[in-house]
Amino acid sequence: MGQRSSGKKLSDIAQELGVSISTVSRAISGTGRTSEKTRSKVRRFIGEDFSPNKIASALAKGKTFNICALFPDDSGSFEYPFFQKCLMGIIQEASLFQYDVIVSDSRHLSNLLSSNKADGYIVTRAVDDDPAIMILKESGVPFVLIGSSADPSVVQVDADNEGSAYKLGMMIKEKGCHSSMLLLGPMNYMVNRSRKAGVQRALDCVTAEGIESLDDVQSALNKAKGMGCDMIICGDDNICLQLFSVLRKTEGYMPEVATLYDNEILPVLGHVVSCRLSPDARQLGVIAAKHLLAEE
């Protein structure tokens, strides 16, 4: 998908009328939610300035000029800084191609496809045997995955999770810590398996997997205290923030903390051994949108 052909384009109409390109497209095609006032305004403009063949060209074979950022259907996932920053990057890049971005989660994917809501999709997190990826492949609609997939036919962009985790592990090893515990989210996410592999390439450590709540962090911390761990390693920003929240209420145990991070506020929270992921979440959003929208 690329920018539209030369001559007067939907973007020209949108700019002159002070509306979005997707609004112009919906007004011309009669699809989607557009007020009668807006449809009349657009059609009057077209009637004055466009011939039928130019209208057909501008519609670009039924394109919506929307792309969809598809988030996990986990409750509250959009509250995580990673997904917010991904979305900012997607919007930044999409605007350069004069595309709008709609946001949904994978539970609504089939409805989005059947109603032709978007010209392409960005899946923001990969899980094993992800049904969203299978549905998108069957539909033939272009899509890009932020994350890693074992399927080589999927266009995918990702940070160097294993390499960054290995680097963090080596930093911890150089500090001479004797016993470490690695806290990770659910292991059906490839990103968590990659980070586990990277840390364990550098040092031996106990892992606590499936961390999703403060209760999970508290349980892991109790286990680490009982084992005498002098270092807690966090697999991501959210777990690290949860850990600090629990540690503030914990008496008699204050291990050192290390984390992989994308959120720039984490290093100022305390004496944290940290390694920043690259590309960061916003850059991943930009790269994914560029792959989706750049001219072939």
At 85, list the tokens. Answer: 């920053």
- Quick one: average pLDDT of 112-119? 92
Is residue 258 within 8 A of residue 233, CB to CB? The reply is: yes
**Cβ neighbourhood burial of 271 (10 Å; 0-12, 13-18, 19+):** exposed
Contact 94, 293 (CB under 8 A): yes
The pLDDT of residue 27: 72
Residue 180: strand pairing partners = 231
How far, in Å, CA of 202 to CA of 220, rounded? 21
Q: Write the pLDDT tens digit of every residue in 6-63.
A: 345 667 777 888 887 777 766 766 555 678 888 788 777 766 554 444 444 434 456 8
Q: What is the pLDDT of residues 127-137, one digit of tens each?
A: 888 899 999 99
pLDDT at 143: 95
End-to-end Cα separation, the chain, in angstroms: 7
Q: What is the pLDDT of residues 237-289, one digit of tens each?
A: 889 989 999 998 888 899 999 999 886 655 555 678 889 888 899 999 999 99
Buried b (16+ CB within 10 A) or exposed e, 1-15: beebeeebbbbbbbe
In this structure, what are the phi and psi dihedrals at residue 120, rounded to the nearest 5 degrees?
-165, 165
Q: What is the CATH architecture of 66-159+282-293?
A: 3-Layer(aba) Sandwich (3.40)
Q: How many residues does the chain have?
A: 296
Residue 288 near residue 122, CB atoms below 8 Å: yes
Give the residue extent of every domain in the chain.
10-59, 66-159+282-293, 161-276
Q: Does domain 161-276 have CATH number 3.30.110.30?
A: no
**Cβ atoms within 10 Å of 116's Cβ, excluding its own:** 15
In this prediction, residue 111 carries a pLDDT of 93
Decide if 68 contacts 119 (C-beta within 8 A): no
Q: Note whether 203 and 172 are within 8 A (CB).
A: yes
Query: Do 161-276 and 66-159+282-293 fall under one CATH topology?
Result: yes
How many other CB atoms are there within 10 angstroms of residue 223's CB atom?
13
Contacts of 5 (CB under 8 A, 6+ apart): 57, 60
Q: Are 148 and 191 in contact (CB under 8 A)?
A: yes
Whole-angstrom distance, CA of residue 109 vs CA of residue 149: 19
